[in-house]
């Protein structure tokens, strides 16, 4: 018989899960689902398409929240049965299965615990992520495309819905920028710790000198809001340009000038959209993103003024937060948390959960200390 004592591990899992359930408040969550289900079942729901989409999206997200908790609760109950069965039958295969389930539940409950730390105003919203290449020429634009693939693979691993909203291809390798939306519960709270400057160090594949090349890319993450009602954008404050969407190397992918670029003249903020089928849809999508960025900018300025008055203002936006080393010592290191991964290939293939969880815990401790 495979010797194992699982009682301490199971007790720890149940204790952590109990804390999670208390924070999630399953009773309140069920009541919210019931209320949204009634709204979703109204015969006139789709008379207002925008409202209907909000209701059905909220219902889907709340149902997903509840399922995550109830699934773990059921698995814990099944684990007790599995362990008891292994002990009664004195069966090595069943005991090994129980150990594997304990290890898997430790990972699942750990992720669920991290989610309970996401209590910011917009943390439960979908996320709009923009990646921009920085210094480094072709290496930087190639790096930006590597980051885009990394995040899309991460979303794919979690079966999250993703829509690429805009891509600006570089003349050489990679992309100048890309914007995509991740529609999943707590996508913004989760991905917001990825915002900042990312640095890649490697032997450049674009030069023959075999010298180390350092390149940079910036990642911006904002919540996807239905409407930024607190921000009014007068037509006189924006310039709207329409153009033909393009693919790699400048290849035209649309036969009409449906892509839209909106420039906010007072701040210089620029938003481009080319994923939707019509110019009207692209303009509406670009305006939503612009309004959200202006809303967050307004709140950041207000928070900065308060910190300045308190004498504790720091300039942290855009600071380098992670390095990717692809020469010599293969390593990905988060400079805020100290979390390291010794296999960059798995990170670029979307295995980001450890880095993200460490970032969320770091942010929570930092917020508690402030």
CATH number of the domain residue 278 falls in:
3.30.160.20
Does one domain contain both 220 and 331? Answer: yes
What domain range is 26 assigned to?
6-117
Does one domain contain both 40 and 72? Answer: yes
Return d(Cα 11, Cα 76) in angstroms, integer: 10
- Please tell me whether the overall predicted TM-score, pTM, comes out greater than 0.85 for this model: no
**Domain-located, residue 306:** no
Mean pLDDT per 10-residue run, the chain (370 residues)?
A: 70 90 87 93 87 86 88 93 87 88 90 85 88 88 96 94 88 89 90 92 78 88 71 84 67 63 89 82 86 82 55 43 90 94 96 93 82
Q: Which residues contact 251 (CB under 8 A, 6 or more apart)?
A: none
Does one domain contain both 83 and 162? Answer: no
Number of structural domains (the chain) is: 3
Given this model, what pLDDT does residue 327 score? 85
Given this model, what pLDDT does residue 230 score? 59
Given this model, what pLDDT does residue 48 score? 85
Does one domain contain both 11 and 111? Answer: yes
Q: Among 249, 273, 299, which residue terminates a domain?
A: 299
Please provide the DSSP assignment of 229-242 as one string: TT----GGGEEEEE
**Domain-located, residue 182:** yes
Does one domain contain both 210 and 276? Answer: no
Does one domain contain both 216 and 322? Answer: yes
Does one domain contain both 96 and 192? Answer: no
Please provide the DSSP assignment of 227-296 as one string: --TT----GGGEEEEEE--B-GGG-B--SS--EEEEEETTT--EEEE--SSSHHHHHHHHHHHHHHHHHH
Q: Measured on CA atoms in the order 219, 224, 227, 229, is the torsion positive or negative?
A: negative
Given this model, what pLDDT does residue 152 score? 97
């Amino acid at each position: 018989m495979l010797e194992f004592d699982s009682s301490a591990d199971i007790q720890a899992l149940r204790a952590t899960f109990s804390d999670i359930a208390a924070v999630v408040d399953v009773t309140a969550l069920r009541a919210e689902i019931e209320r949204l289900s009634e709204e979703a079942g109204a015969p006139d729901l789709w008379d207002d398409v925008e409202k209907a989409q909000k209701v059905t999206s909220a219902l889907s997200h709340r149902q997903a929240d509840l399922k995550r908790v109830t699934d773990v609760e059921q698995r814990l109950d099944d684990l007790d049965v599995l362990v008891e069965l292994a002990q009664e039958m004195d069966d090595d295969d069943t005991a090994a299965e129980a150990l594997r389930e304990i290890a898997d539940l430790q990972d699942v409950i750990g992720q669920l615990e991290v989610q309970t730390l996401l209590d910011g105003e917009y943390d439960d919203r979908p996320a709009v992520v923009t990646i921009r290449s920085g210094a480094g020429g072709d290496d930087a634009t190639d790096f930006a495309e590597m980051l885009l693939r990394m995040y899309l693979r991460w979303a794919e691993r979690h079966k999250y819905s993703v829509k690429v909203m805009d891509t600006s291809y570089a003349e050489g390798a990679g992309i100048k920028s890309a914007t995509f939306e991740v529609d999943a519960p707590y996508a913004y709270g989760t991905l917001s710790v990825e915002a900042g400057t990312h640095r890649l160090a490697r032997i450049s594949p674009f030069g023959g000198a075999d010298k180390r090349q350092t390149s940079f890319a910036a990642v911006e993450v904002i919540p996807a809001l239905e409407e930024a009602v607190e921000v009014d954008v007068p037509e006189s404050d924006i310039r709207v340009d329409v153009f033909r969407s393009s693919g790699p190397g400048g290849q035209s992918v649309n036969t009409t000038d449906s892509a839209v670029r909106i420039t906010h003249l007072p701040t210089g903020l620029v938003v481009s959209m080319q994923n939707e089928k019509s110019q009207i849809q692209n303009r509406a999508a670009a305006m939503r993103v612009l309004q959200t960025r202006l809303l967050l900018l307004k709140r950041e300025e207000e928070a900065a003024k308060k910190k300045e008055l308190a004498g504790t203002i720091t300039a942290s936006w855009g600071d380098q937060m992670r390095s990717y080393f692809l020469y010599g010592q293969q390593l990905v290191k988060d400079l805020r948390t100290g979390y390291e991964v010794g296999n960059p290939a798995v990170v670029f293939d979307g295995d980001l959960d450890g880095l993200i969880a460490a970032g969320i815990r770091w942010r929570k401790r930092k917020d508690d200390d402030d």
